[in-house]
Amino acid sequence: MAYTQSTDYREEEINLARFAKALGHPARIAILKYLASLDTCCFGDIHKELPIAKATVSQHLAELKDAGLIRGSIAPPRVNYCIDWENWKKARKLFGDFWETENNDRPSPCCQ
């Protein structure tokens, strides 16, 4: 953990930040969009979509799994991945609430 454990961030901020961090790389965005458009697919198919080595793809998949956005299941000799729709919805709600601020139509008052 990098940011000090000194309490002081709210649970919701931490959750939102965790999801955001998981989305914070083009490869992971691409993976999620791909999986969301399909239904399920195996590692190899995902790898084919990306311009990076398979070891790296594996790492990105692990991060998305840690964040709860995807799941994997072994189906020898393949490994299938798919969106975890339950958490997907939670994330969507968090982001929805976040962006949905009251004052969206205010112009930026300062800062020319």
Partner DNA sequence: TTTGTTGTTCGCAAAAATACGAACAATTTT
Partner DNA sequence: AAAATTGTTCGTATTTTTGCGAACAACAAA
Smallest distance, its own copies to C-beta of residue 57, A = 12
Segment 62-68 long-range contacts (CB within 8 Å, at least 24 positions apart): 63/22, 63/28, 64/22, 64/28, 64/31, 64/32, 66/22, 67/18, 67/19, 67/21, 67/22
Binds DNA by CB under 7 A, chosen from 12, 13, 21, 93: 21
Between residue 92 and residue 111, which ones bind DNA under the rule CB under 7 A? Answer: none
Helices (H), the chain: 11-22, 26-37, 43-49, 54-66, 85-99
Between residue 38 and residue 77, which ones bind its own copies under the rule CB under 8 A? Answer: 39-40, 50-52, 70-73, 75
Q: Do residues 22 and 34 lie in contact, with contact meaning Cβ atoms separated by under 8 Å? A: no
84 part of the interface to DNA, by CB under 7 A: no
14 part of the interface to DNA, by CB under 7 A: no
Contact region with DNA (CB under 7 A), list: 31-39, 58-66, 83-91, 94-102: 58-66
Residues that bind its own copies (CB under 8 A): 3-4, 6-10, 13-14, 16-17, 20-30, 32-33, 36-37, 39-40, 50-52, 70-73, 75, 80-86, 88-89, 91-92, 95-96, 98-101, 103-112
